[in-house]
Chains A and B, each alone.
Chain A
Amino acid sequence: DVKVTQSSRYLVKRTGEKVFLECVQDMDHENMFWYRQDPGLGLRLIYFSYDVKMKEKGDIPEGYSVSREKKERFSLILESASTNQTSMYLCASSPGRYTGGGYTFGSGTRLTVV
């Protein structure tokens, strides 16, 4: 069964900590994405990558960075966590350069910053 795996289901971090959220896919997909989901705001795109070492900003990149050193792994980094980054984070992947195919999502990481 193909899947996208996120390393943690729940995380609690302190303000100012550097936080790494890891995502691994086993489908050989070119595209990978990081979204956050907040009540009433839907899924908002933080960053995405369409190839190894390539990254592009999404709609809300401030306070985040990403790393894609291998095709299967896409990491989201919170350089200095703040309470307004408390959210549900979803990783997704899709095949090919264009969005002709549906995304496959991970199960999400619920991050709480205290």
Chain B
Amino acid sequence: ILNVEQSPQSLHVQEGDSTNFTCSFPSSNFYALHWYRWETAKSPEALFVMTLNGDEKKKGRISATLNTKEGYSYLYIKGSQPEDSATYLCAFAGGGNKLTFGTGTQLKVEL
């Protein structure tokens, strides 16, 4: 079973703060790295799919970077808002059909 680790496990920030999380994954046999946002009582929603070393993706106030050589990805949220409160999951694809998920970072943005 592949090891995909996320840190921190949980995070409380104030509205307007910027924050970032880490995902580490195997640096060998890399195919893609996914990020998902999972809000309470909703389905996980795909944020980014990243495939190339050095990739940077952006969606509004959320961005992500990828380093496949050292096996890590960062997710950044600029100016956090209460609606950003969710669990953020990363998932590693080593080729083939399936993803291995990390345990997630639970973000709570307080007013």
Contact = CB atoms under 8 A, between A and B. Distances in A.
A58 B98 contact: yes
Interface string B89-100: 101010111111
Nearest to B35: A102
A4 interface: yes
A104 B46 CA distance: 7
A78 B96 CA distance: 26
A99 B42 contact: no
Interface stretch (B13-21, B70-78, B101-109): B101-109
A87 interface: no
A15 B79 CA distance: 48
Contacts of A59: 1, 100
Interface residues of B, number: 26
Interface residues of A, number: 30
Interface string B29-55: 001101010000111111001010000
A100 B1 CA distance: 21
A52 to B, nearest CB: 14
B12 to A, nearest CB: 18
Contacts of B31: 98-100
Contacts of B1: 59
A42 B44 contact: no
A90 to B, nearest CB: 7
Interface string A67-100: 0000000000000000000000010101001111
- Listed from nearest, the 8 A-B pairs whose CB atoms lie closest are A102-B46, A42-B103, A43-B101, A99-B93, A105-B43, A105-B44, A107-B43, A42-B101
Interface of B: 1, 31-32, 34, 36, 41-46, 49, 51, 89, 91, 93, 95-104
